[in-house]
């Protein structure tokens, strides 16, 4: 490799890209010029417009004048040339000088609907893998010069661009600085996705709960930014990070705001009920059928005994067996193409469920409990949070199998104590319950009418608190 002091030659650069069949080197003998670039990283129209057409229309003696144009950036540092080529620039070699021309424009996925965060009403566009497309999606919705973007890069071996976004005057700069500092402190070879990045900037890396909200929806990120939060876009990742966040934010969805507030509130309450069902329903079944039969009313008791009398396992094994089966089905359904995934769902749901009951491996009522828990878990808008809650459910089932209601309450206590300890960018993860901020309840536990949502969330610790001044 050439040192930074020596003049950079074409040979040096080509040597660095030795055995890279995808590198393109074109020689222009009449102009004594060479260009080097990756064909798949550049926009061919831009190449035609900025290099090929001008080169075709000039003589050798006009070359110096052409290279004075603004698109040609003279570079002397070998490392920067290599980085530039890798980032989609074309390197132009003429005599002893080297110039970079920004031609980045690889073919990328079009802006589509998010598959993991689908909404029924409201905007359907979702982030893509291109950071600039994502920035554009945000800027289109947030047309303000106050939206600031700080560029950073992570990765020791492979540099990847990371952009920190915030609204000047609304976001608390302490959060912005902490976020920038944490990203700068990352020392790792490569990070390929923002969901990986988020684990490097977490306050508690060992928790099962997500400490930052990640979303593929521009409208959600824009609403977080306007609420005083900080967002992080990572190039080559369709998920954008927002923080600080609280546990309850994961139960909100942008379409809550696109509906009438009463409907939005009812949907939100439904999600909290779904959360309770997901986490406790199977565990409660195990607890009651193992230790507390007296809690079941007489009429229901006969049905339950009838359903369970052929099952040879204790309820905890029965429940774990079915829960693991459901998780297998879910994982298989997610990995397979959608049509086969649906078939797996039908085969799993009807055939295995029905067959398991008939074979006496499990009871009908447990199938209902497990299915209800599984359905409820998918009501939670965030897939990451839903996965965490499903994991916590296994812990509660085991404890309920060991000590009944006592075990169940011990399990819930452990989860709450753990949640109380967690912080996101240093602020409490269970805000607005602790610290108790009643004014935030109307935008987290219910979706209050817009005239009530006057202030930004307390967690943002913003000086610019007022969001709207309307009376109705």
Partner 1 sequence: MKERLYSSHIALLVFMIQTGVAALSLSRKAAVYFGTNGWLSILILGCAAALNIVLIAMVNRIGNGISVFEIMDKSIPRFITIPIYFFLTAYFAIIGCLVGKQYIHIFQLIAFPSASPLMLKGCFDLLVLFLVTKGIYNIGKTATVFSMLILWMFFLLFAFSNDFELERMTPFVFKGGRNMLSGAVEMFAAFAGYELILFVMPYADRSKKWMRSVQIGNLMTTLTYLSLVFVSFGFFSLEQLKIMLYPLLDMLAYIQLPFVERLENLLFSFLLFTVVVTSSMYTWSACENAQNIFPKADRKVMSLFIVFVMFLISVIPDTLFELELWLKVVSYVEVALSFLFPIFLILLLLIQKRSGVKSHA
User: Given the structure tokens 């080097």, which residue do they identify?
Assistant: 36
435 DSSP 8-state letter:
T
H or E stretch covering 101: strand 97-102
Examine residue 300 and tell whether it contacts partner 1 (CB under 8 A): yes
434 binds partner 1 (CB under 8 A): yes
Least CB distance from residue 158 to partner 1, whole Å?
Answer: 33
Outline where DSSP puts E strands in 391-446. 423-424, 427-428
User: Is residue 280 part of the contact set for partner 1 (CB under 8 A)?
Assistant: no
User: Counting contacts by CB under 8 A, is residue 436 touching partner 1?
Assistant: yes
Place of tokens 């079009």: 110
For residues 112 and 174, which CB has a smaller minimum distance to partner 1 in the complex?
Answer: 174
User: Is 154 or 304 the residue whose CB approaches partner 1 more closely?
Assistant: 304
Q: What is the Cα–Cα distance from 163 to 232, expressed in whole angstroms? A: 6
Q: Which of 1, 421, 451, 463 binds partner 1 (CB under 8 A)?
A: 421
110 vs 417, beta carbon nearer partner 1: 417
Residue 276 binds to partner 1 (criterion: CB under 8 A): no
Per CB under 8 A, the segment of 217-225, 313-321, 362-370, 410-418 that binds partner 1 is 410-418
CA nearest 467: which of 459, 457, 456, 458?
456
Closest CA to 195 of 341, 449, 466, 383: 383
Among positions 170-189, residues that touch partner 1 (CB under 8 A) are 174
| 296 interacts with partner 1 by CB under 8 A | yes
- Applying CB under 8 A, among 118, 266, 372, 414 the residue interacting with partner 1 is 414
Residue carrying the six token digits 């927002």: 242
- What is d(CA 422, CA 437) in angstroms, rounded to the nearest whole number? 17
Contact with partner 1 (CB under 8 A) among 159, 372, 430, 465: 430
* Shortest distance (Å) from residue 428 CB to partner 1: 7
Task: Please tell me whether residue 4 binds partner 1 under the rule CB under 8 A.
Answer: no
In the complex with partner 1, which residue's Cβ is closer, 74 or 295? 295
Which one of the spans 32-40, 307-315, 417-425, 450-458 is the region binding partner 1 (CB under 8 A)? Answer: 417-425
**What count of other Cβ atoms lies within 10 Å of the Cβ of residue 204?**
13
Of 133, 106, 129, nearest in space to 47 by CA: 106
8 Å CB contact between 430 and 247:
yes
Binding region for partner 1 (CB under 8 A) out of 47-55, 78-86, 261-269, 290-298: 290-298
How far apart are the C-alpha atoms of 105 and 139, rounded to whole Å? 19
**From the list 111, 409, 449, 465, which residue makes contact with partner 1 (rule: CB under 8 A)?**
409
Distance of alpha carbon 165 from alpha carbon 232, whole angstroms:
6
- Give the residue, chosen from 52, 258, 403, 454, that forms a contact with partner 1 under the rule CB under 8 A: 403
Beta-carbon contacts of residue 11 (< 8 Å; ≥ 6 apart): none
Nearest in space to 98 (alpha carbons), one of 4, 20, 238 = 4
CB closer to partner 1, 421 vs 463: 421
Query: Which of 406, 451, 463, 468 is close enough to bind partner 1 by CB under 8 A?
Result: 406
98, β-bridge pairs: 75, 93
Residue with smaller CB distance to partner 1, 82 or 430: 430
**Category of 18 on φ-ψ map: left (φ > 0), alpha (ψ -120 to 50) or beta:** beta
Among 303, 338, 354, 420, indicate the residue that binds partner 1 (CB under 8 A).
420
Give me the least distance between CB of 433 and partner 1, in Å please. 6
Residues between 26 and 65 that touch partner 1 (CB under 8 A): none
What is the distance between the alpha carbons of residues 324 and 371, in angstroms, rounded to a whole number? 12
CA distance 176 to 189: 24
Could you tell me the smallest distance in angstroms from the CB atom of residue 435 to partner 1? 5
Contacts of 299 by beta carbon, 8 Å cutoff, 6+ apart: none
- Helices 383-421 and 261-290, axial angle in degrees (round to 10): 70
Q: Which of 325/405 has CB closer to partner 1?
A: 405
Contact 95, 32 (CB under 8 A): yes
Q: Which of 69, 426, 451, 468 binds partner 1 (CB under 8 A)?
A: 426
User: Which of 408, 444, 446, 453 is the binder for partner 1 (CB under 8 A)?
Assistant: 408
Q: Select the residue interacting with partner 1 from 413, 451, 463, 468 (CB under 8 A).
A: 413
Smaller CB separation from partner 1, 278 or 428: 428
Q: Is 273 in the site for partner 1 (CB under 8 A)?
A: no
Instruction: Work out whether 445 is an interface residue with partner 1 (CB under 8 A).
Output: no
The residue count of the chain comes to 472
Query: Residue 445 CB, nearest distance to partner 1 (Å)?
Result: 11
Q: Which two tokens stand for residue 345?
A: 């769902």
Site residues (vs partner 1, CB under 8 A): 174, 291-292, 294-297, 300, 403-410, 413-414, 416-417, 419-421, 425-428, 430, 433-436
């Amino acid at each position: 490799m050439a040192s930074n002091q020596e003049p950079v030659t074409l040979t040096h650069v080509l040597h660095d890209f030795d055995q890279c069949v995808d590198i393109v080197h074109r020689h222009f003998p009449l102009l004594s010029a060479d260009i080097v670039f990756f064909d798949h990283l550049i926009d061919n129209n831009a190449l035609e417009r900025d290099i090929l057409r001008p080169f075709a229309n000039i003589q050798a003696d006009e070359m110096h004048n052409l290279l004075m144009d603004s698109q040609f950036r003279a570079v002397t540092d070998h490392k920067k040339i290599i980085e530039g080529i890798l980032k989609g620039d074309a390197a132009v070699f003429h005599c002893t000088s080297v110039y970079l021309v920004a031609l980045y424009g690889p073919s990328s996925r079009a802006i589509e609907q998010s598959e993991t965060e689908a909404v029924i009403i409201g905007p359907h566009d979702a982030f893509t893998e291109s950071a600039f497309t994502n920035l554009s999606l945000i800027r289109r919705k947030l047309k303000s010069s106050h939206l600031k973007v700080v560029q950073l890069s992570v990765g020791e071996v492979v540099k990847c661009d990371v952009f920190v976004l915030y609204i000047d005057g609304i976001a608390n700069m302490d959060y912005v600085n902490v976020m920038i500092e944490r990203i700068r402190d990352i020392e790792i070879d490569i990070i390929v996705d923002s969901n990986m990045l988020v684990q490097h900037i977490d306050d508690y890396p060992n928790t099962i709960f997500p400490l930052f909200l990640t979303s593929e929806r521009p409208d959600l990120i824009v609403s977080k930014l306007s609420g005083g939060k900080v967002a992080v876009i990572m190039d080559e990742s369709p998920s954008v990070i927002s923080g600080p966040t609280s546990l309850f934010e994961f139960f909100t969805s942008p379409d809550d705001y696109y509906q009438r507030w009463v409907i939005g509130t009812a949907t939100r309450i439904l999600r909290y009920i779904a959360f309770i069902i997901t986490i406790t329903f199977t565990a409660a079944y195990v607890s009651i059928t193992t230790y507390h039969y007296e809690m079941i009313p007489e009429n229901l008791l006969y049905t339950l005994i009838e359903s369970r009398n052929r099952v040879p396992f204790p309820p905890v094994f029965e429940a774990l067996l079915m829960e693991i089966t459901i998780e297998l089905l879910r994982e298989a359904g997610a990995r397979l193409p959608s049509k086969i995934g649906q078939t797996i769902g039908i085969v799993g749901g009807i055939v295995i469920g029905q067959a398991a009951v008939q074979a006496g491996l499990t009871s009908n009522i447990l199938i209902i409990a497990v299915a209800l828990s599984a359905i409820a878990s998918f009501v939670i808008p965030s897939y990451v949070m839903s996965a965490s809650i499903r994991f916590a459910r296994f812990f509660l089932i085991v404890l309920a199998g060991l000590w009944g209601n006592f075990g169940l309450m011990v399990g819930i206590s452990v989860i709450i104590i753990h949640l109380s300890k967690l912080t996101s960018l240093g602020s409490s993860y269970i805000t607005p319950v602790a610290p108790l901020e009643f004014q935030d309840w109307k935008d987290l536990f219910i979706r209050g009418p817009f005239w009530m949502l006057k202030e930004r969330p307390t967690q943002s610790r913003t000086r610019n608190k007022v969001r709207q001044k309307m009376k109705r």
